[in-house]
Structure 1
């Protein structure tokens, strides 16, 4: 969140895993992984998907789950701050079109969230960067985003009115992401333990973040060189896609976004592939969220109300701590634009027969049973979204 009467920087007010569990009583609990088939995750990127989530006896559209999660987060912050937010900004993949954005807008309105602006993730990343570093008009920034389950590469440009515009964007499809790197580390450990060895995915994820010269997972020591050798082909594939997405544009800097960018091998590979600075925050999984708070403030006050940063330089090393991104003015949604989904190619498969809804989900169904933390806590979800 950003305070309108305080510092221009954003602060992390709440961190919670994006998990919704349906209970037998028809209510949702937040932030805890429950029984298989009753817990939803990964729904935020599937808004507008015609196939809903199946939770117990219920079917739940992805945009509805996303709106419920956002409503719960807003309620938790309001309880802490004692007042409603003046404006809310929500991120979405840069590749989303009017239909997906419209579905999410409609779901948010249905749960009472009206003053909201949807912002593409790379623009939010750029807004976060621009708070601490001066970004001149017509300057370009490249955004390398690598989270638990998604990879994307984007190029944005600073407009004359101190907002940002998207020049190019590529969503990774067959690329390894943070969860895949956890699996690769687990495979190394299992190779030492034998076929009967058990490795915790949570322990692998924590070890991957904290990699120094070596880490110990399930009693097995894995050196950094061993891990780098295992993940090098995957990292090279990611960097190659990023370089192709940037194309002939010469960006002023590359911004690392997403928790998987904590791996030093990612920053090292990018630094060797591009002729510009590669910048990351200490917690890159929070960069987009912080940029969204800045974007919400800019919607209310306008970019001209925010002074230029005094410091004209940013971090020169991927492991240092200083990054910022700007968000431009995003027009209010036009309901006429969201009347129908884009045409889909014909298919020859039988339609999925969905069971009827048996539980009505409203605002009161959410129970604050999730694991919460302050800005000093560690996020269990690398995406931090």
Structure 2
């Protein structure tokens, strides 16, 4: 069956979603792997395989456009090339499962990227043989995923609260007359606590009970953080929800204050929660108390951007005018009114003329770094489909990661 593909390369995990062209507009998760590459001594790359001999690379997706490359043993590789290699591998794995090539591929990226960063990723994708691709800002993808099931009228606004394991952002998008979306405002968090920091706060509470020699399970902390009941037991220590909320309240208030600054005077129709960190009930509760609109989240908010990217790819192929208005349905919500998920719009096609020069940088006196010739073609041919994989039913380790 003909399909399109959406790929979201997060700091912790990379997710691929497919959307059928002759089926419903909803997307489904096809593959989830850790955002982890490792160059082996044999000169081949493995994907998602922790440990073993070699030189690992993580966190590269957020460093696209950085002039300083990753040093992987005998090789140096820019962040955009590592990102493109992982995307290429994801596409290949989905093609092997589906038995045919996707009609189009959409890849999400942070809303703060300008033409230079987008151009660097486009160039790296072309170098590894991925040509028919559209880059979609993450809040647009979140919004498009929502618009699949909830009617979003032209002129209305949606706010996107994104919290992953290592990144936070707040955005506002507006529905245009042509049924696409426009970015109204965006703030990228810098000094904010993210999912991994909340894990550490919970671990500190447990360690305070156990003493300095106590051993705390990081996996238990991560799982308990997002699914707090009246109390949780971690490494044999019971932590009440009120105690955890009191510990994280300053961090949550900081996140919410930044989000409200991004919203400004705009009155959004809904707040869309994106990223695995939003599974924490305290996030939804704090936002519900601060905004006068619905606060909406999917059961797995870490997958919302990948699904929305797939929906955006479908719009690129079929066009927004071919899609009927959705019938409102309901999902997990954090406020008083039941509704659904998220919407995006068709991202503009890249124009190579935009990518001729990087944005201006402040004057800094540094010694020039001579980069060796790029070897991305040789690296791409050496990429091996190794490592742990999961589809829509990912294993427990994948489910315990915040993603993004």
TM category (shorter chain) comes to over 0.9
Aligned to 1:192: 209
The structure richer in strand per residue is: 2
* Distance of 1:318 and 1:259 partners within structure 2: 19
Is 1:234 aligned with 2:251? yes
Cα distance per residue 1:107-153 (max 9 Å; x no partner): 00011111100000000000000001111110100000000111000
Please list, as runs of the form range in 1=range in 2, the aligned pairs for 1:56-135 lying within 5 A after superposition: 56-135=73-152
Aligned to 1:364: 381
* Distance of 1:217 and 1:361 partners within structure 2: 46
CA deviation after TM superposition for structure 1 residue 190, in Å: 1.3
CA deviation after TM superposition for structure 1 residue 238, in Å: 0.2
TM-score calculated relative to the size of structure 1:
0.94
Cα distance per residue 1:280-309 (max 9 Å; x no partner): 000000000000000000000001111111
Is 1:174 aligned with 2:218? no
TM-aligned CA distance change 1:93 to 1:220, over 3 Å: same
Contact 2:222 2:400 in 1 (8 A): no
Is 1:54 aligned with 2:68? no
CA deviation after TM superposition for structure 1 residue 360, in Å: 6.5
Contact 2:45 2:383 in 1 (8 A): yes
Cα distance per residue 1:79-110 (max 9 Å; x no partner): 00000000000011001000000000000001
Please say which of residues 317-326 and 53-62 is displaced more in the overlay. Answer: 317-326
TM-score calculated relative to the size of structure 2:
0.90
Contact 1:133 1:314 in 2 (8 A): no
Aligned to 1:336: 353
* Distance of 2:337 and 2:64 partners within structure 1: 34
CA deviation after TM superposition for structure 1 residue 207, in Å: 2.1
* Distance of 1:113 and 1:216 partners within structure 2: 47
* Distance of 1:38 and 1:284 partners within structure 2: 31
CA deviation after TM superposition for structure 1 residue 356, in Å: 7.5
Please say which of residues 304-313 and 235-244 is displaced more in the overlay. Answer: 304-313
CA deviation after TM superposition for structure 1 residue 337, in Å: 1.2
Is 1:165 aligned with 2:196? no
Q: 1:8 aligns with which of 6, 15, 25?
A: 25
Contact 1:132 1:314 in 2 (8 A): no
Cα distance per residue 1:243-262 (max 9 Å; x no partner): 01100000000000000000
Contact 1:147 1:258 in 2 (8 A): yes
Is 1:215 aligned with 2:232? yes
Contact 1:29 1:366 in 2 (8 A): yes
Is 1:280 aligned with 2:297? yes
Q: Which runs of 5+ in 2 are unaligned?
A: 1-17
* Distance of 2:374 and 2:127 partners within structure 1: 17
Q: 1:270 aligns with which of 287, 299, 303?
A: 287
Contact 2:252 2:283 in 1 (8 A): yes
CA deviation after TM superposition for structure 1 residue 168, in Å: 0.4
* Distance of 1:73 and 1:206 partners within structure 2: 26
Q: 2:57 aligns with which of 40, 56, 73?
A: 40
* Distance of 2:53 and 2:211 partners within structure 1: 27
* Distance of 1:321 and 1:64 partners within structure 2: 42
Please list, as runs of the form range in 1=range in 2, the aligned pairs for 1:314-329 lying within 5 A after superposition: 316-317=333-334, 323-329=340-346
TM-aligned CA distance change 1:357 to 1:98, over 3 Å: closer
Aligned to 1:149: 166
* Distance of 2:360 and 2:243 partners within structure 1: 48
TM-aligned CA distance change 1:145 to 1:321, over 3 Å: farther
TM-aligned CA distance change 1:7 to 1:368, over 3 Å: same
* Distance of 1:350 and 1:86 partners within structure 2: 45
Contact 2:233 2:239 in 1 (8 A): yes
- Which SS does the other structure have where 2:28 is aligned? coil
* Distance of 1:353 and 1:361 partners within structure 2: 20
* Distance of 1:334 and 1:39 partners within structure 2: 33
CA deviation after TM superposition for structure 1 residue 38, in Å: 1.8
Contact 1:157 1:167 in 2 (8 A): yes
- Which SS does the other structure have where 1:16 is aligned? strand
Aligned to 1:28: 45
TM-aligned CA distance change 1:358 to 1:366, over 3 Å: closer
CA deviation after TM superposition for structure 1 residue 27, in Å: 0.9
Aligned to 2:13: none
Cα distance per residue 1:321-368 (max 9 Å; x no partner): 964333322222111211111121111333456678789643332222
